[in-house]
Structure formats: C-alpha cells, structure tokens
Amino acid sequence: MNSSDLNKKQKTVWRAIDCRFSELVKEHGSIVYCRKKWLNGSVYDGCLDVARYVKAPIHIMWILKEHNDQPPRDDDGHWVAFADCLGAADDEAVIQFRRNVSSYRSLRLIERASRDLLNLPEGDPTMAFKSVAIVNLGKCPGDNKTPDSRLDDLVEWWGDILKRQVSDYKPDVVIVPGSHFSRVARLLACDQKKGDFRKGRARAELYTNASLPIICIQHPSWYGCKEDDWTWVLSKVFTKAFPHV
C-alpha cells in the first residue's frame, strides 16, 4: 500500500458515495436520512491524512454507525471537523458541537484510544485522527437513536461500499463500537470469537473472519461504563490480537 494509490482509491469511493446518495434521494427522499435542515449531501469518510495512515505501524479502521451531530463543513473531506472539534479552534460551530456532551465524549475516547494503541505522543489532539481510518456504516447524517429497521436499510444501501473501503484501506484491525456490530460482522463474514475482556461494565470482544481481527466494544458515548474501563478493555483485546506490538 502506498499513499498515492490509496488517495486515488479514497477519492473514487467518495465519488461512488455521492452517486449512491443521489440515487437514494431520488428513490426515497432525503427524509429517509435525517430530519436536520442542514442535510445537503453525503458524507466523505475515510482518512484525514492518507500518508499518516499508510505510515502507521498498525492500520486501524473504526467503523461507526453513521455520521451524527457534527458541524457541517465545506472542506473536501468532512472529517476535518472531527479533528477540529478536539483542537484549539473556537468558532461557533465547534462551540455548539462541544455542548453535545455525548458526541464529544465519543470523539475524545476514539482519539484517546487511537493514540494509545498506536503509541502516539500527547500534545496534538488531531494526530490520532490523522493516523487511522474512520468510516461509517451509513454515508449520511443520522440520528442518535437509530431503529434496527434503519440499520438494515443502511446495510442494504451502503454495505457494498463499506466492504470496498475495508478492501481499499487494508486495515490490520477493525474496531466496531456500538450496536451495529452484528450487521458489520455479517458483512465481513466475521464468525469466529477469539476472546473477550471485561472491567466494570465495559466489555470488548475479539472476533476474526480468518484473516482480519475485528473488535466489538460498547459505543464510547454510553455513560454506563467509565472512560478508563472502556479504554482498558479495548487495549487488552488489542494486545490479544497483536501480542508482539
């Protein structure tokens, strides 16, 4: 894998996402995706910094449920706002986002876990986001509470593109935080459980599809478990998948 090839593949996937989004809006109407008035297009996910991802010692891919409650941006790659929300920027959109404590906690824990797993130095809060791939099951803004019927729709509409992203990014490990794990597991033919760790109310499980380690863990926005417990069990399962790292 090299950054030039991956960058081309990422842009090709973004074009495919735009095309699929347009098709679905014509067929179903934008209300299918989100009730928010600022919905105006699909979400480009993947790598904030392709070169950093390629150079990372372990290629980590996070698969989230769907793009949610993030300030809309006009950048070429909406994930720029994810990094900005943890940085020093204090523009109105970021301040508004930080008031959403649930989504902000999710970003902080994903950043913290990515930094710990890759052994990155503290300081620049955007470095962890630039060193991993973060993709959504659904490629459009969604809601906090997504019914199972909607998750099934997301798999039907976007499943082939998600599998294409896994193939393009060639992650060494996939981390799936949240209740959509069963859908992702079926998409990736993940059926072999290799172990799990628990601490407090946090639990992380390791699966594989014979070639790719896949970690299932509670969504980081869930306040039922402590942040330290969540990162601890994720670290332990990660170590089980990569004992020599």
**Domain encompassing residue 67:** 3-241
Non-local (6+) Cβ contacts of 101 within 8 A are none
Q: What is the pLDDT of residue 77?
A: 45
| Domain tally, the chain | 1
Domain harbouring 204, CATH code: 3.40.470.10
Q: What is the pLDDT of residue 78?
A: 47
Give pTM, 2 decimals: 0.88
Q: What is the pLDDT of residue 98?
A: 57
Q: What is the pLDDT of residue 72?
A: 45
Dihedral (Cα; 111, 78, 87, 54), 10-degree rounding: 50
SS3 string, 67-108, reads CCCCCCCCCCCCCHHHHHCCCCCCCHHHHHHHCCHHHHHHHH
Question: Which tokens in the block code for residue 238?
Answer: 């990660």
Q: What is the mean pLDDT of each run of 10 residues along the chain (245 residues)?
A: 93 92 80 52 83 95 77 47 53 56 77 93 81 88 72 90 96 93 90 90 91 92 89 94 76
